[in-house]
Amino acid sequence: MPKFLKGNYRLPKGKATLARKQARKDLTQQFEERALAKLGGSLCFVMKKGTFVWTDEADEGARQASG
Amino acid sequence: MKALAKHLVDRMDRLTAARSVEAAVKNVQANQPYIRLTIADLAAQARRSPPDSAVVIGAGPSLHRRNPVAQLLESGYEGAVVAADGALGYCLRNGLVPEYVVTLDPHPARVCRWFGDPELESRRDGDDYFRRQDLDPYLGVEEFKRNRALIELVNRHGPSIKAIICTSVASNVTKRCVESGMELYWWNPLVDDVEQPKSLTRRLHRLNGAPCMVSGGNVGASAWVAASQVLGAREIAVTGMDFSYPPGTPMEKTQYFKELVELFGKRAHDALIVVRNPHLNETWLTDPAYYWYRETFLRLAAQAEAVTYNCTEGGILFGKAVRWTSLRAFLAARRAAEAVH
């Protein structure tokens, strides 16, 4: 059986190593962030284009029409 | 700032997301049955008679060093008073019933303490947070007795208080606000980019229809956002907004020190930051989360139309976007402005 599963081509060397490295880096980063999360603040801070309060106008219109 | 501190400050938005988002989303779903009024309703009310000014009361250590409530009561201040949840007990004990209280942290047990926690005596989780915290040191001793007194105080004054409440809070906080007779005005937290197709914020908004508000990362900043963007105050004084620890505070007494030691051992000290305040000519100590709060607050203030006065008289919140002054001077200026009108 193993002989049928044997690969008959080689991955380009650089690409495979890069992908593996990136995956390892992502995993390390995830672990690090999980561990360090206890140092975090109360709640996320996200702000775009100076918008302090956001409401989906389209949703709001639909809600009012159906209500 | 040492390299370790910088490393943490630079990642603080991601660390905060990792800490809070999962719990926040779970809480949003649990709070669904309670959502009737939102900050859109509050904004509509405020538009009919917008406050000229507001005083935001954060829960930093200067609250207990400077006692701003005594000055507010003495001055007969007539603007809006918006308290962070951690400052509610201090306000009520000292005879000030804030018109608004803001709450957002999704923690399952701790936040309820600010409202008086009916479950405290039956809970056996060994959490010593309230014995270590400096936000309201009064609650850190004779805990059961003082908690019972706070329950009574909040129940007595709840009907006069409007809660500007984030859908991310734990259900025990919601229940306390409801049973004390507060009027609840809900908002969703902005947790990601609403323009992304799989935006979580957008999903939360679709679920309950509540507007999504920038949090600033902490309840004090959210209280300021509510004062400026929901109530429409043009001049806002902030008090108790230290984002740091007074000179002479031992590192062991700082909020995150236990966690820092667990993570970094002897290097824990390298994660703390010292900031020289030129207005006070004093050096204050802070940790990465609080330093991040400071930076986000300054960014928010720079983008708002309202003028922000830092009347904390302590801490590290200074910069171009914030005018440093005393609460006494702010209140005197408001009185003079009212006299002219």
pLDDT of residue A67: 44
Residue B236 within any structural domain of the chain? yes
What is the residue-averaged pLDDT of chain B? 94
Burial of B207 (0-12, 13-18, 19+ CB in 10 A): middle
Query: What's the complex ipTM?
Result: 0.90
- For residue A31, the chain B residue with the least C-alpha distance is B18
Between CA A43 and CA B81, with CA B155 as vertex, the angle to 5 degrees is 55
- Interface A-B, measured as beta-carbon pairs within 8 A, has a size of 142
Q: Would you say residue B202 has pLDDT above 80?
A: yes
Residue to substitute from B26, B110, B191, B214, interface A, most A β-carbons within 10 A: B214
- For residue B290, the chain A residue with the least C-alpha distance is A41
Residues of A in contact with B166 (CB under 8 A): 43
Q: Which amino acid is at B225?
A: V
pLDDT bucket at B127, cuts 50 / 70 / 90: confident
Rounded Cα distance, B125 and B119, in Å: 11
Nearest CB to A44: which of B20, B187, B289?
B20
Interchain proximity A45–B19, CB inside 8 Å: no
pLDDT of residue A14: 66
Cα dihedral value B259, B265, B268, B270, nearest 10? -150
Rounded Cα distance, B332 and B99, in Å: 21
CA-nearest of B226, B191, B193, B179 to B26 is B191
Residue B340 within any structural domain of the chain? no
Interchain proximity A41–B217, CB inside 8 Å: yes
Nearest CB to B20: which of A42, A51, A53?
A42
Spatial strand order of the sheet with B80-84 comes to: A53-54, B212-213, B183-189, B162-166, B100-103, B80-84, B53-57, B235-239, B307-310, B322-324
Residue B262 within any structural domain of the chain? no
Which residues of A touch chain B, with CB atoms under 8 Å apart?
33-48, 50-56, 59-60, 63
* Dihedral pair phi/psi, residue B202, rounded to 5°: -60, -40
Q: List alpha helices for B103-211, DSSP H.
A: 129-132, 143-157, 171-179, 200-208
Residue B260 within any structural domain of the chain? no
In tens, the pLDDT along A28-41 reads 777 777 778 889 99
Residue B115 within any structural domain of the chain? yes
- For residue A49, the chain B residue with the least C-alpha distance is B303
Rounded average pLDDT over A56-60: 71
Domain membership of residue B141 as a residue range: 22-244+306-334
Residue B187 within any structural domain of the chain? yes
Strands B80-84 and B100-103: parallel
Residues of B in contact with A41 (CB under 8 A): 12, 16, 19-20, 217-218, 289, 292-293
User: Can you spell out the DSSP letters for B47-59?
Assistant: HHS--SEEEEE--
Rounded average pLDDT over B324-340: 92
Question: Three-state SS string across A26-57, please?
Answer: HHHHHHHHHHHHHHCCCCCCCCCCCCCEECCH
B339 three-class SS: helix
* Dihedral pair phi/psi, residue B277, rounded to 5°: -95, 110
Residues in chain B: 341
Q: Would you say residue B230 has pLDDT above 90?
A: yes
Q: Number of folded domains in chain B?
A: 1
Residue B91 within any structural domain of the chain? yes
- The answer to whether B218 contacts chain A (CB < 8 Å) is yes
Residue to substitute from A26, A36, A45, interface B, most B β-carbons within 10 A: A45
In tens, the pLDDT along B19-28 reads 899 999 999 9
Residue B137 within any structural domain of the chain? yes
List the 152-181 stretch of B: residues with Cβ below 8 A of A: 166, 168
Rounded average pLDDT over B128-136: 74
